[in-house]
Structures are given as structure tokens and as C-alpha cells.
Amino acid sequence: MRIGVIGSGRLGGTLGQAWGAMDHEVLFASRDPTQGSVVDLAVATRGARTATLEEAHAASDVLLLAVPGNVAEMLVRTLDGWTGKVLIDPTNHLAPDGSSNAEAIQRAAPGARVVKAFNVMGVEALERAATGNATGTMPIAGNDDEAIAIVSRLVNDVGLTPLHVGGLAMATSLEQLSSVWIAWSRTLGRRFLWDVVR
Ligand SMILES: NC(=O)c1ccc[n+]([C@@H]2O[C@H](COP(=O)([O-])OP(=O)(O)OC[C@H]3O[C@@H](n4cnc5c(N)ncnc54)[C@H](OP(=O)(O)O)[C@@H]3O)[C@@H](O)[C@H]2O)c1
């Protein structure tokens, strides 16, 4: 599938490269797609190219919003035409009232099919899974069954097992879980993964 990576930094770069290796068509989007780090990512990723935010948004059915949590909602509002698009939110930015960034993003793009995913572990852990050096479980939350199926496949494609934990209201719990990962990473190291063993 064609995946627009909005924010080609550490997380966007890691996931985009892993998806490219699985034969997805990745558009690495940036406010400045000519900058060296973004060009280098596209060159290093099979079938990838660079794009502006607007180009990637218009050309992709699936978007990864890998930008700082405090700009995500505003950025979504600047892009028109979200209806039907799968919008993956990996950000961690709980509001003062405890509501999730994912729900704020959904309100900003009512037609999008928002799925919370890839937020509960650091890139070091994701890289470990994507290179086949560890297994783990990625909890995801969202309301749309087809979008959940699409994101589940993309989780599988980076070497992790998806676990649909409920609707988007569960995103608050997942954003809190990321705080636990960060706290534990100080003693366990940033390569540790969550895994659900049944
Ligand atoms: N790093 C992790 O281990 C990790 C793990 C799970 C979740 N996350 C979440 O993933 C998101 C990205 O994290 P990251 O570590 O990849 O950050 P990062 O390396 O700083 O990359 C963020 C990217 O967002 C873009 N950006 C920054 N401000 C922007 C703005 N105002 N408008 C549009 N684009 C903007 C920048 O791209 P340009 O300058 O090229 O436009 C930058 O490359 C964060 O919300 C973080 O909480 C990170």
C-alpha cells in the first residue's frame, strides 16, 4: 500500500524503512523534502520518495502522523480531505483533563479513520523487532474495523503482533502506557519490548 509518513524523523524514518522493505510504497514527507536527512531516508528505502506534507497527504490512503504531539492536531487541521483515510497516531500528548491526543486528532479530522498505534515503545525497540531480533506485542486502538485490519498488517510488517485493545477511547490508556515504557527504559534500557503471552 502507499503510506505517507508525515514527519520523517526518528519514528517516521524507522517505520518507513521497515515498510519499504516489505514492499510498501513510502512517501517520506517533510516541511522541507529537499533536506539531506529526508533525501537520505528515501534513497535508503526501497521504492520510497520524498514529498511535501500536502503531496503525501493527497497521494496516500494511509498516513503516519510522526510529528511532535503538541503540533499534531494543528497540523491535521491544515490538511484538507481526510475522509476515508487511515490516520495512524503514534503521538503521546495527554491533555490536562486526561483525554488523548488521538481523540483530539479525530475531532480535527472527523472523516479520517484514526488508529492509535506505535506509541508505546521507543524506536530502539521497534528497530529490534523490525530486524527480526525480538518479538513483541503492539496494542492498537480504533473504531473502524477495516482501518484496524490495515494497521494490524502494518504492525505485522515491522515484526510485531497487533493487539486491538478497543475503540479510540482506549487511546488514553495507551498514551499512559508509553509513560510506563519510558520510566522502565531507564533501568531496562531502550530496547525492551512489551509482549503479551496468552
Ligand atoms: N522516538 C521514539 O522512540 C518514539 C516512539 C513512539 C512514539 N513517538 C512519537 O512519535 C512522534 C515523532 O517522534 P520522533 O522521535 O520521530 O521525533 P523527531 O525525530 O523529532 O521527528 C519529528 C518530525 O516531525 C516534523 N515536525 C516537527 N515540527 C513540525 C511541525 N510544526 N509541522 C510539521 N512537521 C513537524 C519534523 O520534520 P521536518 O522538520 O522534516 O518537517 C521532524 O522530523 C512524537 O509524537 C513522539 O512522541 C516517538
Q: Which domains does the chain have, with CATH numbers?
A: 2-188 (3.40.50.720)
Ligand 1 and 119: CB distance under 6 A: yes
User: In angstroms, rounded to a whole number, what is the distance separating the alpha carbons of residues 109 and 114?
Assistant: 9
- Side-chain half-sphere of 92: how many Cα atoms within 13 Å? 16
pLDDT single digits (tens) 132-177: 999 999 999 999 999 999 999 999 999 999 999 999 999 999 999 9
Q: Give dist(CA 26, CA 63) in Å, integer.
A: 10
Of 59, 56, 88, 50, the residue nearest 171 (C-alpha) = 88
CA of 160 to the centre of ligand 1 (A): 21
Average pLDDT over residues 65-75: 98
Are 157 and 18 in contact by the 8 Å Cβ rule? The answer is yes
Separation of CA 61 from chain center: 14
Could you tell me if the CB of 66 is within 6 A of ligand 1? yes
Q: Which atom of ligand 1 lies nearest, measured to the CA of 35?
A: 40
Q: pTM above the 0.85 mark?
A: yes
In the chain, DSSP finds a helix count (H) and a strand count (E) of 8, 8
CA distance 49 to 29: 9
pLDDT digits (tens, 9 = 90+) for 97-109: 989 999 999 999 9
Confidence of residue 10 (pLDDT cuts 50, 70, 90): very high
* Predicted pLDDT at 99: 92
CA of 166 to the centre of ligand 1 (A): 26
Q: Name the burial class of residue 51, with classes exposed (0-12), middle (13-18) and buried (19+) by CB atoms within 10 angstroms of its CB.
A: buried
Q: Is 56 in the pocket of ligand 1 (CB under 6 A)?
A: no
